[in-house]
Structure 1
Amino acid sequence: MAKPTSPPAPGAPFKIGDHVRSMTYVPPEQLRQQQPELFEGDVVQIGSGYAGIDADRAFVWVRAADGTERKALISDTELWAPTEAGSAR
């Protein structure tokens, strides 16, 4: 059965269910304790859900293969086909 998808949010390059690759977002004040990590997974949320709230720093939330969710900047995120990733889903 195919995963349900929705159209991209206005101005968003992704839609719910897209498989993407990105770096985790780490706030500047936490960079001494935590480093960004490369990951891939399926988009579960685009932006905060409230128009204009995160316009200066738009985020995407992604569910990784291990079931955890990661937050990334949309500008750091790219569509990533499973065949490019070298693994089957």
Structure 2
Amino acid sequence: MTGTTPPYQVGDYVTGTSYVPPERRHIEQPEQFEGDVVQVGSGYAGVDADRAYVWVRVADGTERQALIDDVERAGP
């Protein structure tokens, strides 16, 4: 992500690949998803300075975390 303005806002409909930290990949794998953005960044100043995240609510009501660079807008 470049600049200081996030490319997504709460409510944007996106598709992407979930983020799984390396230490959890033996029990969980990244997966494709689509849904509505519910949070951009951690909410704490400076926390996402090196790696910006987005949280997306999918159809079953659960959420997926993804790197901002691993999602894109979908649909109309």
Once the two structures are superposed, residues 53-74 of structure 1 have per-residue CA deviations (whole angstroms, 9 ceiling, x without a partner) of 1111111000001111111110
- 2: CA distance, partners of 1:38 / 1:77: 10
Count of aligned positions: 73
Deviating beyond 3 angstroms after TM superposition, the runs of 4 or more aligned structure 1 residues are: none
TM-score when normalising by structure 2? 0.89
Residue 78 of structure 1, aligned match among 44, 50, 72: 72
Q: 1:31 aligns with which of 22, 25, 28?
A: 25
Give the number of the structure whose alpha-carbon radius of gyration is greater.
Answer: 1
Q: Structure 1 or 2: larger strand share?
A: 2
TM normalised by structure 1 equals: 0.77
Which runs of 5 or more structure 1 residues have no equivalent in the other structure? 1-9, 83-89
CA-atom RMSD in angstroms: 1.1
The percentage of aligned residue pairs carrying the same residue is 63
Higher relative contact order (CA 8 A, sep 6+): 2
